[in-house]
Amino acid sequence: MKSFWRLLKYIKKYKGYVSLNILSNILMALFTAVSIPAVIPFLQILFDQAPKVYEKPKVGSIEELVEYCKFHFTASMESNGKETTLIYMCVIIIVLYLLINLFRYTSLFVMAPVRNGIVKDLRGQLFSKMLVMPMSYFTEERKGDLLSRITADVQEVESSILNVLQALFREPIIIVFCLGIMIYISPGLTLFVLGLIVFTAFFIGRIGKTLKRKSSKAQQKLGDLISIIEESLSGMRIIQGFTAESYQDERFEKENESYKELLTKVIRRRDLSSPLSEFLGIMIVAILLWYASGRVFKNELDPATLFGYLLAFFYILNPAKSFSKAYFNVQKGIAALERVEEVLDAEVTITEKENAKSIKDFRTKIEYRNVGFKYDNDDQEVLKNINIEIPVGKIIALVGPSGAGKTTIADLLPRFHDVNEGAIFIDGINIKDYKLRALRSLMGIVSQEAILFNDTIYNNIRFGVENATEVDIINAAKVANADEFIIKTENGYQTNIGDRGSKLSGGQRQRLTIARAILKNPAILILDEATSALDSESEKLVQDALNKLMENRTAIVIAHRLSTIQHADEILVMENGEIVERGTHVELIKQQGAYHKLVALQAF
């Protein structure tokens, strides 16, 4: 239940609503409890089971309260008769139940914003945590599973746990009030009843444990299902192009069937809670009736008191049943909550030092000193003994086969990953000593895949630069050779580009990402194969935009097409995580080494 108590901490933010809920529940329980001692003396007087009271007593205890009720019932029957008094009593019971249900609704009314608010806070905290997780986390976790946690699992927490919060606050109050009356009427009988309740609670607890275990498996399976959906939507072109619709459909159907079977088992166990608790409750009532009737036959208990006792027990029975159902739901919800907590408790490995320094300008050089790196849970080194010096305003190009470590070198600079060996310095200071936000604000990134959002062209260019004006955005688009095609779209800069920019061509998408980088005006530019996926015409426009972007700027350029980096100040040739050659284009061609082979292959 550790997860459950952690969830309840979110309630502090809504303590005003919770206070109103508790007050409403107390008033509801109070009116429920008052109805029981009011009925018993009335029945005793009505059926001549107790002597009539003609002198008005003082009220200072429960016994005196009962005598006070008997006095008023006696006075009413003496002046109005039994039938009229019975009508009055029925009206009083109706009013009491009106108040009981009024406060019940009030308690539910004030809990609605608490439930929805906690779900909003939980989902918001989960999303915020995902935004600060290192890149390595997302390579290890499936996107579909993360989507499942922030949607289905959070919603399961709402429906299974928060949906029964009012029961968790309300039912114990009613149970305590009614149990107090039962103890007052007959301590021995109440002890007997409690023994039966403990006996039945054992069976409910055993089923609850298996429910939690099955629920956890079902939530995991749902994550797998959403992963297939996410992968299929992203790769629809490939699925249809390879006529793999049947294969993907069978794969999805297999997971879908498995999820259905698991969910059926979960629902069956959850649905067992209501009939099981009802059966056990009736069984307790039958045993109680048998045991209590024996005491009535022995004149140890009068019928009116027995009726009142049974009434109090029935008032406990419904809350106990709701509490039982709530227990089953909570067990199911905790399985989902634990999956959410796995993300919330995941270690953020890219952290700032306590007294981290700020940096606004890049003035001298970037240095990689004896840098080594390997991914978590992987013994193979991705980078080994990397030494690079990039003076301000210079362009360094990284070339080599796929998997050589080029992108990893670039990713280490903005601390998407942290080095395992050596260090990286900017202006002579270890990048780990800088504030993370300040460090990344120095950099602009244009990658091979144009990362765009389902929003307008205007907002995609402005992304991350909140104080940009419309003139700034248009100028950035013009420099990126994007303004011409933008103004031809349906709504110009306010045109929505669809999911991941699907309404645009590859070259248009790439030019928007360049415009975004131009608007940011970064001191350091990282270009990761920005033209490799383009046709010749688009490449020419994009390369022209990149050349404008790199003017008077420090840049790290990763390229497969060697024609795009011939004018770099230094070219580093990489193989298996190591720098095997370095120099200008002309120098490397003269060496007749690895670079010369790459150039020859592309020329061929």
DSSP string, 315-366: HHHHHHHHHHHHHHHHHHHHHHHHHHHHHHTS---S---TTPBP-----SEE
User: Are the C-beta atoms of residues 381 and 393 closer than 8 Å to each other?
Assistant: no
Question: Could you give the CA distance from residue 394 to residue 553 in angstroms, rounded to a whole number?
Answer: 7
Q: How many structural domains compose the chain?
A: 3
> What pLDDT was estimated at residue 193?
73
**What one-letter code names the amino acid at 438?**
A
Domain closes at, from 494, 521, 548: 521
Give dist(CA 132, CA 58) in Å, integer. Answer: 68
CA-wise closest residue to 473 among 492, 490, 491, 454:
492
Specify whether 557 is located in the same domain as 436: yes
Q: Which residues, other chains included, contact 483 with Cβ-Cβ below 8 Å and sequence gap of 6+?
A: 474, 477
Helix/strand/coil for 90: helix
Residue 86 lies in a domain: no
Which amino acid is residue 261, in one-letter code?
E
Overall size of the chain counted in residues? 604
Measured CA to CA, the distance from residue 556 to residue 568 in angstroms comes to: 9
Task: Answer yes or no: is 102 within a domain.
Answer: no
Q: 261 and 399 in one domain?
A: no
Residue 399 belongs to what H/E stretch? strand 395-399
Mean pLDDT per 10-residue segment, the chain (604 residues): 71 84 82 68 64 71 66 76 76 82 86 83 86 78 78 78 67 76 76 70 61 70 76 69 76 83 76 68 74 75 70 71 68 78 84 89 92 83 92 91 88 91 94 92 84 87 86 88 88 87 84 86 84 63 76 85 79 92 90 86 63
How far is Cα 582 from Cα 563, in angstroms, rounded to an integer?
17
Which CATH number goes with the domain that contains 369?
3.40.50.300
| Same structural domain, 365 and 506 | no
582: helix, coil or strand? strand
Query: Which residue in 176, 557, 172 sits closest to 400, CA to CA?
Result: 557
| Domain harbouring 289, CATH code | 1.20.1560.10
Question: Is residue 56 a contact partner of residue 68, using CB atoms and an 8 Å limit?
Answer: yes
- Same structural domain, 210 and 297: yes
Residue ranges making up the domain that contains 155: 2-13+111-344
Do both 563 and 432 map to the same domain?
A: yes
Residues 248 and 140 in one domain: yes
Looking at the domain assignment, is residue 34 inside a domain?
no
What is residue 496's DSSP assignment?
A: B
Residue among 173, 450, 468, 208 at smallest CA distance from 329: 208
In the sheet with 365-373, reading across from the earlier edge strand, the strands are 383-391, 365-373, 421-426, 429-430
pLDDT value, residue 152: 79
Residues 237 and 377 in one domain: no
Pair 294, 148 in one domain: yes
Gap between the Cα atoms of 309 and 37, Å rounded: 9
In this structure, are residues 539 and 379 in contact, taking their beta carbons and an 8 Å threshold? no
In DSSP notation, 416-461 reads SS--SEEEEEETTEEGGGB-HHHHHHTEEEEESS----SSBHHHHH
In a domain, 372, yes or no: yes
Residues 562, 541 contacting (CB under 8 angstroms): no
Q: Within 10 Å of residue 548's Cβ, how many Cβ atoms?
A: 14
Residue 570 and residue 528 share a domain: yes
Confirm whether 79 is domain-assigned.
no
The H-or-E segment that residue 571 falls in is strand 570-575
HEC sequence for 104-115: HHHHHHHHHHHH
Tally of CB atoms within 10 A around 183: 15
**Same domain, yes or no: 414 and 548:** yes
What is residue 325's predicted lDDT score, i.e. its pLDDT? 65
Q: Is residue 600 part of a domain?
A: yes
In a domain, 91, yes or no: no
Tell me, yes or no, whether 276 and 386 share the same domain: no
pTM over 0.75: no
Residue that is last in its domain, among 323, 344, 365? 344
**Last-in-domain residue among 290, 310, 344:** 344
Strand 443-447 to 524-528 pairing: parallel
458 and 311 housed in the same domain? no
Closest by Cα among 352, 385, 364 to 428: 364
Domain assignment present for 62? no
d(CA 353, CA 141): 27
